Amino acid sequence: MENLNCNKKIILVCHCFLNCKSKVENFNEYNKNFEEKKKNLIMNLIKNDIGIIQLPCPEMKIYGCRRWGHVKEQFDTPHFRDMSREMLNPVLNEIRDYSKNGFNIIGILGVNGSPSCGVNLTCSGKWYGEFSHNHNLNDMLASLEMVEESGVFIEEIKGLLEENNLNIPIVGVDTSNIDNIHQILDI
């Protein structure tokens, strides 16, 4: 196929790399520095002529703007997993077609810490139930911890890639590595 572009590199990014409005309300204020770095990362990808595919935001699609922050256990339901796969299938078809036509899918960027899009780290805790009549609310909130697992959406991406024999590196982005993504992916 004739290639009108000088390079055939494509990256997939979790939705909020390009649209931070999809994050849980107030999260961007809390993490301003990281959000600024994400913008720089995207600008560098564009400058390097890397095609960018934006993945859907599962939390926004399923729970909308007014959702609370959740932990992984709350999204770990058959329905959330089914919906994740349903959202990912059209993207998977694009990846398969790009790959068949000589494009190089250089990686997928996830968001470490997210209960959905974390890759090496996700938030876990014994969160459930009614807020207003919960006498153990403080204990429940204090059960929050980061665990070395992927979020639910990324687990489903990994499953789909494996089932389709697609070998694409998935990088969990966080404050420790966001300045080095170009080296990690050898862009």
Cβ-based nearer residue to ligand SF4, 15 or 72 = 15
CA distance 118 to 154: 7
CB of residue 28 vs ligand SF4: minimum separation in angstroms? 10
Cβ-based nearer residue to ligand SF4, 116 or 150 = 116
CB of residue 176 vs ligand SF4: minimum separation in angstroms? 17
Cβ-based nearer residue to ligand SF4, 22 or 150 = 22
Cβ-based nearer residue to ligand SF4, 71 or 103 = 71
For residues 176 and 119, the answer to whether their CB atoms sit within 8 Å is no
CB of residue 1 vs ligand SF4: minimum separation in angstroms? 31
CB of residue 153 vs ligand SF4: minimum separation in angstroms? 6
CB of residue 64 vs ligand SF4: minimum separation in angstroms? 11
CB of residue 136 vs ligand SF4: minimum separation in angstroms? 27
For residues 42 and 34, the answer to whether their CB atoms sit within 8 Å is no
Chain residues in the site for ligand SF4 (CB under 6 A): 14-16, 22-23, 57-60, 111, 114, 116-117
CA distance 14 to 54: 6
Cβ-based nearer residue to ligand SF4, 34 or 98 = 34
Cβ-based nearer residue to ligand SF4, 8 or 158 = 158
